[in-house]
Amino acid sequence: MRLRTADAKLEKIERKRRSHAERAEQSDQLMVRAAIKLIARQGYFRTTLAEIGQESGYSQGLVSYRFGSKEGLLKALVNRITNRFWNDQMNPAIEGRHGLDALCAMVDTYLKELVARESRLRALYVLMGEALGPVPEIRKVFAELNDRLRAISEESIRRGIEEGQIRADIDPASEAATCVALLRGVSMQWLVEPGCFDLATVAERVKATIRRSLAV
């Protein structure tokens, strides 16, 4: 009887602990979503923790407690957006692919996100711009993001060279940077003026440019 009572108490404590963790995760998500909405609309520099708290339905004190600072919230925001993108979209798209096939899959996946996740990507690009100007302290966050995208592209190019489908006389690092530049340039134009061109057609042109530049 005592064992059953003890087990019941432990189970109740565990349910309470899980419930608390779930509530904390939900509040974090709401605060990050509020930050994305505000930053996409008015930028990082003009967005305050008080506004984020108000938009999400929580206090400024809770926002500060959870993330420590605006920079801490920014890192959480970028990590959530990029990790979800890589885990849910990019990694499945390029899994088992390499060389030109992987690069083209990356182009399709990246540009489709412009339509599917426009508000999130708009917030990211607003932040990238501010990292070059009024908020240089967040520059490292985006340097790491760019490094990751270039590294994936460079590895795909190296694999393509090894398999003989990509020319051996090119510099993988330089070509990877060029591929990322193409994606960033198309994305910036679209985010400034959504619908200003046919995105599917431009995606095909980007892939054709990559093939023409790299193929044997």
Give 70-126 pLDDT, tens digit per residue.
Answer: 888 888 888 888 888 888 889 999 998 989 999 999 999 999 988 888 888 888 888
Q: Tell me the H-state helices in 70-198.
A: 70-85, 91-94, 99-116, 118-132, 139-162, 172-192
Q: Are 40 and 32 in contact (CB under 8 A)?
A: no
* Segments of the chain assigned to CATH 1.10.357.10: 70-216
Give the model's pLDDT for residue 121: 87
Write the pLDDT tens digit of every residue in 51-79. 999 999 998 899 899 888 888 888 888 88
The set of long-range contacts for 61-70, using a CB threshold of 8 Å and a minimum separation of 24, is: 62/27, 62/31, 63/31, 66/24, 66/27, 66/28, 66/31, 67/31, 70/44
Closest CA to 210 of 122, 92, 75, 110: 110
Q: Per this entry, what is the length of the chain?
A: 216
* Segments of the chain assigned to CATH 1.10.10.60: 1-68
For residue 122, the Cα-to-chain-centroid distance in whole angstroms is 11
Give 133's pLDDT tier (boundaries 50, 70, 90).
confident
Per CATH, the architecture of 1-68 is what? Orthogonal Bundle (1.10)
Three-state DSSP class for 129?
A: helix
- CATH fold of 70-216 reads Tetracycline Repressor; domain 2 (1.10.357)
Higher pLDDT, 187 or 133: 187
pLDDT over 90 percentage in the chain: 48
State pTM to two decimals: 0.79
